[in-house]
Amino acid sequence: MFIARTAVKADVTGPALKEFLAEINRIRTGDIKAAEAARRRRPYGPR
């Protein structure tokens, strides 16, 4: 289980949601480098 969230202005909610889901799908399908995955596992650490 994981939690993902973001803040978005109302007038761009549709495009933002589309991009958000595309990023989740990219991670799900493995289209991500190991270093990027490691950085994203640290919720409040350096990016």
- Summarised one tens digit per residue, pLDDT across range 9-22 is 999 999 999 998 99
User: Model's pTM, two decimal places?
Assistant: 0.60
The Cα 10–Cα 41 span in angstroms is: 28
Is the pLDDT confidence value at 42 over 80? no
- Give pLDDT, residue 17: 92
The better pLDDT of the pair 7, 5 is held by 7
4-24 as b/e: b if 16+ CB within 10 A? eeeeeeeeeeeeeeeeeeeee
DSSP-derived secondary structure letter, 35: H
What tokens does 36 get? Answer: 């990027």
Q: Is 5 left (phi over 0), alpha (psi -120 to 50) or beta?
A: beta
Could you tell me what percent of the chain has a pLDDT over 90? 28
How far from chain centre, in Å, is Cα 42? 13
- Give pLDDT, residue 1: 66
